[in-house]
Amino acid sequence: MNALGVHILAEYYGCNSEILNDREKIETYLNQAAVEAGATIVSSAFHTFNPHGISGVVVIAESHLSIHTWPEYGYAAVDIFTCGETVDPWKAFEYLKENLKSEHFSTIEMKRGQLKVVGQKLRHKPEMAVVAAR
C-alpha cells in the first residue's frame, strides 16, 4: 500500500509563552520549519487573537504546516502534512520543538492517501508531459 503523504499531529507543551504570543516569531518559525523539512513555500497567513494567541498556516507545494497557540497554557497545536519523498516532516517537527522551547510533546503520525495503485509508483503530483521542440 502506497501513501501520498505523511501527516504529523504535534502537541507542544511547556512552551515559552512570550514566543507563543509573538506573531512575527511564530510566522518566522513556521516558515523556517518548512525550509528545514525541504519544502517549497507557496504562501503563508497568520492571525493574532485578542487578548492572546496566534493561528497560522504555511502553504507548501507539498501540502501545509499549521499552528494554533495558547500562550496562557504554554501550549501549541501543530499540523505538518507533507507529500512526496523529498520532504521530511520530522525535521520541521524538531525545529519547532526547539524554537518553541517545548518541555514535552506528543505526536501522531498518519499516512494520508493510502491508495492501491497496481503497476506504477504512486506520485503526489502528476508527471509533467515532455513536449518535443519543433
Give the residue numbers annotated as catalytic, written as ranges. 63, 68, 83
Residue 107 CA to residue 15 CA, distance in Å, equals 15
Whether pLDDT at 24 is above 50: yes
CA 25 to chain centroid, in Å, comes to: 16
Dump pLDDT digits (tens) for 61-116: 999 999 999 999 999 999 999 998 899 999 999 999 999 999 999 999 999 888 77
Helix (H) or strand (E) holding 57: strand 54-60
Residue 44 CA to residue 133 CA, distance in Å, equals 37
Q: Is residue 62 one of the residues assigned to a domain?
A: yes
Quick one: cell of 22? 509573538
Percent of the chain with pLDDT over 90: 78
Per the structure, how many domains does the chain have? Answer: 1
Q: Is residue 129 one of the residues assigned to a domain?
A: no
Q: Is residue 120 one of the residues assigned to a domain?
A: no
Q: With bands split at pLDDT 50, 70 and 90, how would you rate the model's confidence at 133? A: very low
Whether pLDDT at 129 is above 50: no
Q: Is residue 128 one of the residues assigned to a domain?
A: no
| CATH number of the domain bearing residue 93 | 3.60.90.10
What is the extent of the structural domain holding 14?
2-115
Amino acid 122: pLDDT? 62
Compute how many other C-beta atoms are within 10 angstroms of the C-beta atom of residue 66: 16
3 Cβ contact partners less than 8 Å away, ≥ 6 residues apart: 111, 112, 113, 114, 115, 122
